[in-house]
Chain A
Amino acid sequence: MPKFGLTMTEGLLTEWHVAPGAAFRAGDMLFTVETEKVANEIEAEADGTLAEILVQAGETVPVGTPVARLASGVAAPPPMAAAPAEVASGKDTLDSPAARKLMAEHGLDRDAVAPTGRDGRVMKEDVLRLIATPLARRLAEAGGVDLSSVEGSGPRGRIKARDVEAAAQAVPARAPSPALPDVTEIVPDATRRATAARVSAAKRDIPHFYLTHEADMAALARLRAELNAEGHGQKISVTHMLIRALGLALEEMPQMNRIWAGDRILAFAHADIGMVAETPDGLRIPVVRDAGGTSLDAVAAQAGALAERARNGRLTPSDVGGGVISISNVGMFGASSLTPIINPPNAMILGVGAERSLFRPDADGAPALRRELTLTLACDHRVIDGADAARFLSAVVALLETPLRLLRPARKPA
């Protein structure tokens, strides 16, 4: 399983384009991996023959997992998926190849596995064997708990009754679904399942907090009209200006250009801004690169091209991934605001509502008509604190309300 981003840990193999036993040429599509809200087509780097598929379509496996075996004698390693099995366990061992592969994949110490094969060979079953006490097995069966998902606390990871009980409490038994005649059960497709798993994990694992700020759009609307009146190059949209504003704000506040990566924090040199896009294959998030260091026109050109490819389902792996923030704009549907879920590994997402006309008291307390946009910033509290987030959102709003700054380079960070 290739790795497409700094924090990618696993990928969903959605489709094989080559059948076992079939030969392929360099450049042929081998398989498709879905992750980071994009489908990545993996091409063969050289000619070869597919000997055996190890990861079936529909399976999600950790990065680095061998997904297939190529026929020997044909040098064509799949991209980045160098089989670690051969490296980790010497070729002189008599252990079964499948067992060697499994041990290497899961970082298992061979001495910890009890061999059952002839002459002390470790067999595949020895590695796969799930160690659980008889009582734990009985409780798991009675409670509908999948033992393979239970972590054992006993010696050498043995699953004990207490582990099953803890797991059963964590996952309450599914209520029996009443037989409703007007309800249809739909089996979700791979995309839906991947999205469901991803957003569940994001909402569960990321401690979100939210800030909302209105932006006066009068000056921005005037500037946009003037820029677009010139009539050459990519038309500038509000989203382009928002992306540019986020890019500048990140350049000027580098402490916000960071993500939480489990055991460390990753700081980025450039401000890459994702934009959530609807595509025929579901939601995708193409990323505008270096939105802080380039010009508004360049941002608009990049965003336009990305949106085009997204609409046609032609996003490439390099179009997605990276960056700390994405924009999700639901303004075109009339919704006044959106409180979005952060797209891992991002640390932020900006929910953008529809532009609205409303009366605000002016300096004298008299009603004044204004055009406003509601911005809702969701932040990962593991890496961002509230005050910084508020300063960041204020800076973005200030850029939008004095929009000529969008045409200038970023100021040096304070």
Chain B
Amino acid sequence: MAETRYIKAVNQALKDAMRDDPTVFLIGEDVGAAGGSFKATRDLLDLYGPERVYDAPIAEAAITGIAVGAALTGMKPVAEIMFMDFITLSMDMLVNQAAKARSMFGGQGSVPMVLRTPHGGGLNAGPQHSQCLEAWLAHVPGLKVVVPSNPADAYSLLRAAIDDPDPVIVVENKALYAMKGEMPETPEKIEIGKARIARAGRDATVVAYGAAVGMAEAAAEVMAAEGVEVEVIDLRSVQPWDEACVLESLSRTHNLVVVHEAVEAFGVGAEIAARMADIGFDELDGPIVRVGAPFAPSPFGKTLEEAYRPNADRIVAALRRTLA
């Protein structure tokens, strides 16, 4: 075990994947000479040369389109979109091309591409550089969406995404890039679609992903001091998501809170809550409560953004509501 940072784990995963598979290449703004805006691709240009690490112009549609085309012809591109907010420009390539190819070509082709992009606030980056838009992508059949919550998962989920024969969006979190965490000597193999029990508990289940997992764990600490044992599930993957794991946990705890940094309305939490209200109905002993950002653009100002982002206190309040 060695300690590493989230951004270094991403860098390591890219480095190892490129070492293991010569068809893996990188494309994105500033990924080459600059080593990435957040240094995810540091040193990779020097290691693997300009044929495998492309600096692209500020043209997200082109970056994504090139990745889709390369993937269709047998390469394993890893595209970087500098901020998830700019994924709006990639949507046609992702939604109408990458997501549909396997089905439209009768299974004769697939799009083994990865699109890495950071979401989330906490850096006072304002409404156009803080958004969490994973629900848009999770809504599209044919796309997979993973959201690692810690350095080890950042490594393993990125490796799993690169190995996957279909388009996978790896949503990183800007606020987590500096996060330190243990990195096993032999990294865990993660199956996309399987969740992880981050903390076991018997009284209530909190489902979270990305940065919300840490908030949920902090909330669980607060509740534990009162004798309430909260189980925290790190979804790891929001599309597909581990329905069986959540249902199993709910069947033990009978209370459910779903947390994400994204806006609450029409979010991933709505899907999980609706599904559990259906298949888990008879297990519920309280309302399913969601915790997410309010229905408003992310503010710039520090205090306003702190009020905007979900946190442990709001998760504690949600837990108290469902347990009341």
Interface residues of A (CB under 8 A from B): 133-138, 154-155, 160-161
Q: How far, in angstroms, from A390 to B112 measured CA to CA in the complex? A: 95
Residues of the B chain whose Cβ atoms lie less than 8 Å from the Cβ of A155: 324
Residues of the B chain whose Cβ atoms lie less than 8 Å from the Cβ of A133: 284-286
Complex contact B324–A161 (CB within 8 A): no
Complex contact B282–A154 (CB within 8 A): no
Main secondary structure of the interface of B (DSSP, over half): loop
Interface size on B, residues (CB 8 A): 8
Complex contact B282–A135 (CB within 8 A): yes
Those of B37-71 within 8 Å (CB) of chain A: none
Given contacts A134-B281, A135-B254, 9 further A-B pairs with CB under 8 A are A133-B286, A134-B282, A134-B285, A135-B283, A135-B284, A135-B285, A137-B282, A138-B282, A160-B285
Complex contact A154–B283 (CB within 8 A): no
Residues of the B chain whose Cβ atoms lie less than 8 Å from the Cβ of A138: 282
Could you mark each residue 270-292 of chain B with 1 if its beta carbon is under 8 Å from any beta carbon of chain A, else 0?
A: 00000000000111111000000
Main secondary structure of the interface of A (DSSP, over half): helix
Q: How far, in angstroms, from A413 to B282 measured CA to CA in the complex? A: 66
Looking at the assembled complex, report how far the CB atom of A158 sits from the nearest CB atom of chain B, in whole angstroms: 8
Q: How far, in angstroms, from A186 to B285 measured CA to CA in the complex? A: 40
Complex contact B324–A136 (CB within 8 A): no
Residues of the B chain whose Cβ atoms lie less than 8 Å from the Cβ of A137: 282
Q: Which residue of B lies closest to A156 (CB)?
A: B324
Residues of the A chain whose Cβ atoms lie less than 8 Å from the Cβ of B286: 133, 154, 160
Q: Which residue of B lies closest to A141 (CB)?
A: B282
Complex contact A154–B284 (CB within 8 A): no
Q: How far, in angstroms, from A133 to B283 measured CA to CA in the complex? A: 9
Q: How far, in angstroms, from A331 to B282 measured CA to CA in the complex? A: 60
Q: How far, in angstroms, from A136 to B254 measured CA to CA in the complex? A: 10
Among B281, B283, B284, B285, the most chain A Cβ lie within 10 Å of the Cβ of B285
A-B contact list, 8 entries, CB within 8 Å: A133-B284, A133-B286, A134-B284, A135-B283, A135-B284, A154-B324, A161-B254, A161-B285
Q: Which residue of B lies closest to A160 (CB)?
A: B285
Looking at the assembled complex, report how far the CB atom of A41 sits from the nearest CB atom of chain B, in whole angstroms: 49
Among A133, A137, A155, A161, the most chain B Cβ lie within 10 Å of the Cβ of A133
Looking at the assembled complex, report how far the CB atom of A131 sits from the nearest CB atom of chain B, in whole angstroms: 12
Q: Which residue of B lies closest to A155 (CB)?
A: B324
Q: How far, in angstroms, from A136 to B285 measured CA to CA in the complex? A: 7
Residues of the B chain whose Cβ atoms lie less than 8 Å from the Cβ of A134: 281-285
Residues of the A chain whose Cβ atoms lie less than 8 Å from the Cβ of B254: 135, 161
Q: How far, in angstroms, from A136 to B282 measured CA to CA in the complex? A: 8
Q: How far, in angstroms, from A134 to B282 measured CA to CA in the complex? A: 5
Looking at the assembled complex, report how far the CB atom of B229 sits from the nearest CB atom of chain A, in whole angstroms: 15
Among A134, A137, A154, A161, the most chain B Cβ lie within 10 Å of the Cβ of A134
Q: How far, in angstroms, from A25 to B324 measured CA to CA in the complex? A: 55
Q: How far, in angstroms, from A154 to B324 measured CA to CA in the complex? A: 6
Could you mark each residue 240-256 of chain B with 1 if its beta carbon is under 8 Å from any beta carbon of chain A, else 0?
A: 00000000000000100
Could you mark each residue 84-104 of chain B with 1 if its beta carbon is under 8 Å from any beta carbon of chain A, else 0?
A: 000000000000000000000
Looking at the assembled complex, report how far the CB atom of B8 sits from the nearest CB atom of chain A, in whole angstroms: 45
Looking at the assembled complex, report how far the CB atom of A168 sits from the nearest CB atom of chain B, in whole angstroms: 15
Residues of the B chain whose Cβ atoms lie less than 8 Å from the Cβ of A154: 286, 324
Q: Which residue of B lies closest to A135 (CB)?
A: B285
Residues of the A chain whose Cβ atoms lie less than 8 Å from the Cβ of B285: 133-136, 160-161
Shortest beta-carbon contacts, A-B, top 3: A135-B285, A161-B285, A133-B285
Q: How far, in angstroms, from A138 to B281 measured CA to CA in the complex? A: 10
Q: Which residue of B lies closest to A138 (CB)?
A: B282
Q: Which residue of A lies closest to B250 (CB)?
A: A135
Residues of the A chain whose Cβ atoms lie less than 8 Å from the Cβ of B281: 134
Q: How far, in angstroms, from A133 to B284 measured CA to CA in the complex? A: 6
Q: How far, in angstroms, from A360 to B182 measured CA to CA in the complex? A: 94
Q: How far, in angstroms, from A133 to B285 measured CA to CA in the complex? A: 5
Q: How far, in angstroms, from A227 to B285 measured CA to CA in the complex? A: 74
Looking at the assembled complex, report how far the CB atom of A174 sits from the nearest CB atom of chain B, in whole angstroms: 25
Q: Which residue of A lies closest to B321 (CB)?
A: A155
Q: How far, in angstroms, from A138 to B283 measured CA to CA in the complex? A: 8
Q: Which residue of A lies closest to B277 (CB)?
A: A134
Looking at the assembled complex, report how far the CB atom of B280 sits from the nearest CB atom of chain A, in whole angstroms: 9
Residues of the B chain whose Cβ atoms lie less than 8 Å from the Cβ of A136: 285
Looking at the assembled complex, report how far the CB atom of A403 sits from the nearest CB atom of chain B, in whole angstroms: 67
Residues of the B chain whose Cβ atoms lie less than 8 Å from the Cβ of A160: 285-286
Q: Which residue of A lies closest to B283 (CB)?
A: A135
Residues of the B chain whose Cβ atoms lie less than 8 Å from the Cβ of A135: 254, 282-285
Q: How far, in angstroms, from A346 to B285 measured CA to CA in the complex? A: 44
Residues of the A chain whose Cβ atoms lie less than 8 Å from the Cβ of B282: 134-135, 137-138
Looking at the assembled complex, report how far the CB atom of B324 sits from the nearest CB atom of chain A, in whole angstroms: 5
Looking at the assembled complex, report how far the CB atom of B289 sits from the nearest CB atom of chain A, in whole angstroms: 12
Q: Which residue of B lies closest to A136 (CB)?
A: B285
Q: How far, in angstroms, from A135 to B324 measured CA to CA in the complex? A: 14
Q: How far, in angstroms, from A160 to B285 measured CA to CA in the complex? A: 6
